[in-house]
Structure 1
Amino acid sequence: MISVLLVDDHLVVRAGLKSLLDSQPDLRVVAEAATGELGVEAAQLHGPDVVMMDLALGAGMDGIAAIAQIRRVRPAQAVLVFTTYDSDSDLVRAVDAGAMGYLLKDSVPEEIFAAIRGAVAGLSVMSPPVASRLFHQMQHPEETLTAREAELLALLTQGLSNRELSKRLLISEATVKTHLAHIYAKLDVESRSAAVAAAIGRNGMRH
């Protein structure tokens, strides 16, 4: 029997999903939570096989923060995002936080069942539109840069030092280094010069 925790701030959504999952002989909803904070507590208390997590949870901790907290406390916990949001930033943040799968709420029941069973088996499952979007991002990682990272990358081509970047952007040097680390990872480069080359190539293609 696969135990499932539902985290969603809409009672009707939780009730509908619970009814759907409980219709399967191998799936059982063992707990529900309406907030991110309660979701984290429920995950620790019940130790479900799979957590189904919405991203928008009203005031307080959002789904991304809840996923990250659950994975810190329970590193092996399987968490599936179950949401109406499919933006690039939400997808990247959810995966970075530790989500094993990303399902849209308009997914057919068979996709939801398969995702839950797959998560228990250690497989990453995503709704077709989300999978297509992620594949595109893997081919074009520069498009996942945040506005601030893109701005910093553009300034790198001017040969500015970290100190100059911090003054120009009104942020600390430590924050500059953090942004640079994220940029390097997203562009799959290991040095400042490689990042600059990538930035120049990027702009060249756009023109």
Structure 2
Amino acid sequence: MSATTVMLVDDHEIVRAGFRRLLDNAADLQVIGEAATGEDGYQLYLESKPDVVVMDLSMPPGVGGLEAINRILASDPQARILVLTVQECEPYPSRVLQAGAKGYLTKRCAPEELIAAVRQVAQGREFIAPGIRKELDGKGASKLEALTKRELQVFTLLASGQSVAQIADAMFISQKTVHAHRANILGKLGLKKTSDLIHLAIRHGIIEA
């Protein structure tokens, strides 16, 4: 039986190296490609058509994980994508699963859990970490659910330290539009400034302190 082919998309080279070593040590799994951005991940998917894509969500600047998922599934509705991220809180899990990803794991997962998830997703079955399932079952608790898809993207980029100019370039929108999104985000979340937004992102595990 041929090995299940896997593609890794994560902007941290050391993280990719660790995951590659782990997956390649499983006799039935083979990592055939790596990408550091959502855009590169999308292009590499079109070229290599792996059985499973292991995708991070936070890859600023440029195309983020959620947008890359949407692009891949638009080109191949049968694509099997497993999200592996630090982002544990809503609305990220539900947005990702609504987009069509098959699985959701956090980077705190045990090595054997990642291997099991890749195998299950390769078979076309869903794999959601227990902690994420709990978060989905308690849906509605996070203020972030009030944000639109575009606002959530801007929120994530702001929280990761991107400037308004960088976000405008990455998203192909004007700086004025970014400022408008930022104002809407702060209003919806009941915050006053970007530093408050960063603290909220840290509390929710969206970014690491």
Shared fold (TM-score, shorter chain, > 0.5): yes
Runs of 4+ in 1 over 3 A off after TM superposition: 140-145
Which region of structure 1 is more displaced relative to structure 2, 2-11 or 120-129? 120-129
Higher relative contact order (CA 8 A, sep 6+): 2
Unaligned runs of 5+ residues in structure 1 are 149-207
Assess if the C-alpha contact under 8 Å between 2:45 and 2:72 holds in 1.
Answer: yes
CA distance in 1, matches of 2:6, 2:17: 13
**What count of residue pairs does the alignment treat as equivalent?**
146
Q: Which residue of 2 aligns with 1:70?
A: 72
**Mapped pair 1:94 → 2:96:** yes
Matched residue of 1:103: which SS?
strand
Counterparts in 2 of 1:15 and 1:147: CA distance versus 1, 3 Å = closer
Structure 1, residues 170-190: CA drift from partner, whole Å, max 9, x if none?
xxxxxxxxxxxxxxxxxxxxx
Structure 1, residues 84-134: CA drift from partner, whole Å, max 9, x if none?
111201112211221110000110011111111111111111111101111
Unaligned runs of 5+ residues in structure 2 are 149-209
**Mapped pair 1:11 → 2:3:** no
User: Which protein is bigger by CA-based radius of gyration?
Assistant: 1
CA distance in 2, matches of 1:100, 1:126: 8
CA distance in 2, matches of 1:124, 1:15: 25
Counterparts in 2 of 1:109 and 1:147: CA distance versus 1, 3 Å = closer
CA distance in 1, matches of 2:64, 2:21: 24
Structure 1, residues 132-151: CA drift from partner, whole Å, max 9, x if none?
111223xx699885157xxx
Assess if the C-alpha contact under 8 Å between 1:55 and 1:62 holds in 2.
Answer: yes
Counting helix residues as a fraction of each chain, which structure ranks higher? Answer: 1
Q: Which residue of 1 aligns with 2:22?
A: 20
Identity within the alignment, %: 38
**Mapped pair 1:107 → 2:109:** yes
TM-score by length of 2: 0.66
TM-score by length of 1: 0.67
CA distance in 2, matches of 1:62, 1:147: 16
Which region of structure 1 is more displaced relative to structure 2, 117-126 or 27-36? 117-126
